Amino acid sequence: MKVLVVGSGGREHAICWKIAQSPKVDKIYCAPGNAGIAEYAELVDIKAMEFDKLVAFAKENEIDLTVIGMDDPLVGGVVDKFEKAGLRVFGPRKNAAILEGSKAFSKDLMKKYNIPTAGYETFDDPQKALEYLETAKMPIVLKADGLALGKGVLICQTLEEAKEGVKSIMEDKKFGTAGNQMVVEEFMTGREVSVLSFVDGKIVKTMTSAQDHKRAKDGDQGLNTGGMGNFSPSPFFTKEIDDFCQKYIFQPTVDAMAAEGREFKGIIFFGLMLTEEGPKVLEYNARFGDPEAQVVLPRMKNDIIDVFNACIDGTLDQIDLQFEDNACVCVVLASDGYPVSYEKGFEIKGLENFKDKDGYYCFHAGSAFEDGKIVTNGGRVLGVTALGKDLLEARANAYKAVDWVDFENKYYRHDIGKAIDDVETK
Ligand code: AMP
Ligand code: GLY
């Protein structure tokens, strides 16, 4: 069969790599892809938001299955376009992708169906938001309603900061129209866990857990980014916590969407905070995480094509989802200055060091071909990823492999997986 993957990041590299393992697949295309993805897929020069061109390409090339990796096209309704054209596609329709596309929607859903999350208020008038903040408890969290590349969340320590935040989100439109509405949320503390899941409209099957590192700098300092590295599994996501989440968060979310007439098929990514009062939902995403896909997919035993098909056909109950009893760590190599401003176009050297090394992967997040060379082409450039028998070994392997590649302005966090020490030394 022929598969088309839509997206161009490290997540889509990991998805293409995993699809390439399937004996059912003869040919993979990726639109627009990147230089690393080109090893597994033929790159197609169509952007993720060019829906009509994507549909035309899929028809002309008799694509059997299209997999949407990114949030923007899902929220924009790319799946509906494919379905209307009679094409098979993996991902939620527009009316379900709103679970990620609108924080106000997802908060209201959780409230209506008693799914544990932080207390909140929604505003579309900055004046009302400012009045509310006068009596609110600090710190407090402000969230632009719409998509903002994972950066539309402000944690404000003081009333002054919060007022500034309202101005930047709702008046200066720092995150564009995503800030037309804003959610003001209670500040929670605890460990964060990402749990990705497959959903077939009726039931949910969760993948192994992961823990992201969102801040740009060591010690969780600096600005929020798309993610600077992560590890899987999270030792803090215990069997007991998993059981609680299955009962009160995971399946109830899928049921709630179905009850609202918004049947969800695809991936639900549960961003959780393990608070003293129990697990609570921080956010939902309607796609694989980036870099969560990079640490979860190398551990997955199933043929991913079978799982995609089961989600589309509503037969996920027949899939026995299995993961290796090992661990995986990904360290993101970024361009210095990310997430604010950075240079691109520097040659990436040493990629050949990953060839034929079992359990080591160099997933490209932002790379391109230029004059026969592979060059940096984004804020996040590579996700250096390694397996190990446990988290300590995986982390040591990943940091060893970080030195195998180099490019000008290479920047990375030195403390990905530091939380593992809290467990291992106990
Ligand atoms: P989100 O995009 O909603 O996941 O938010 C991005 C990051 O902001 C999360 O991963 C958390 O680190 C932080 N965050 C979001 N909401 C809260 C909250 N209510 N309390 C504390 N931290 C939060
Ligand atoms: N790593 C977080 C995300 O993909 O949203």
DSSP assignments along 128-151, one per residue: HHHHHHHTSPSSEEEEESS--TT-
State pLDDT tens for residues 209-259: 999 999 999 999 998 888 999 999 999 999 999 999 999 999 999 999 999
Look-up of token digits 């790599």: 17
Rounded Cα gap, residues 223 and 257, in angstroms:
33
State pLDDT tens for residues 55-83: 999 999 999 999 999 999 999 999 999 99
Question: Ligand 1: does its nearest atom lie under 6 Å from the Cβ of 100?
Answer: no
Residues of the chain with CATH 3.90.600.10: 327-420
Q: Given ligand 1 and candidates 283, 284, 285, 287, which is best to mutate, with the most ligand atoms within 8 Å of its CB?
A: 283
**Atom 19 in ligand 1: residue holding the nearest Cα:** 187
Residue 100 has pLDDT above 60, yes or no: yes
**Atom 5 in ligand 2: residue holding the nearest Cα:** 289
CATH topology of domain 191-318: D-amino Acid Aminotransferase; Chain A, domain 1 (3.30.470)
Q: What mean pLDDT comes out for the span 342-365?
A: 97
Backbone angles phi and psi of 218, in degrees to 5: -55, 150
% the chain with pLDDT above 70 = 99
Q: Does domain 2-98 have CATH number 3.40.50.20?
A: yes
Rounded Cα gap, residues 65 and 216, in angstroms:
36
**Atom 8 in ligand 1: residue holding the nearest Cα:** 153
Look-up of token digits 């391109």: 368
State pLDDT tens for residues 403-416: 999 999 999 999 99
State pLDDT tens for residues 170-180: 988 988 888 89
Residue 136 exposed, middle or buried by CB count within 10 Å (0-12, 13-18, 19+): middle
**Atom 16 in ligand 1: residue holding the nearest Cα:** 282
Question: Ligand 2: does its nearest atom lie under 6 Å from the Cβ of 192?
Answer: no
Which of 121-125, 145-149, 364-368 is predicted with the least confidence, judged by mean pLDDT?
145-149
Residues of the chain with CATH 3.40.50.20: 2-98
Reading the block at residue 90, the tokens are 């993996």
**How much distance in Å is there from the Cα of 292 to the middle of ligand 2?**
7
State the closest ligand 1 atom to the C-alpha of 103, by its place in the atom list counted from 1.
3
Question: Ligand 1: does its nearest atom lie under 6 Å from the Cβ of 274?
Answer: no
Residues of the chain with CATH 3.30.470.20: 191-318
State the closest ligand 1 atom to the C-alpha of 189, by its place in the atom list counted from 1.
21
- Class in CATH terms, 327-420: alpha beta
Tell me what percent of the chain is helix, strand and coil, each rounded to the nearest 5: 35, 30, 35
Residue 425 has pLDDT above 80, yes or no: no
State pLDDT tens for residues 129-165: 999 999 999 999 999 999 987 778 999 999 999 999 9
**How much distance in Å is there from the Cα of 232 to the middle of ligand 2?**
14
* Mean per-residue pLDDT of the chain: 96
CATH topology of domain 119-186: Dna Ligase; domain 1 (3.30.1490)
Q: What mean pLDDT comes out for the span 362-366?
A: 97
Question: Ligand 2: does its nearest atom lie under 6 Å from the Cβ of 145?
Answer: no
The pLDDT value given to residue 43: 98
Contact 186, 111 (CB under 8 A): no
Residue 277 has pLDDT above 60, yes or no: yes
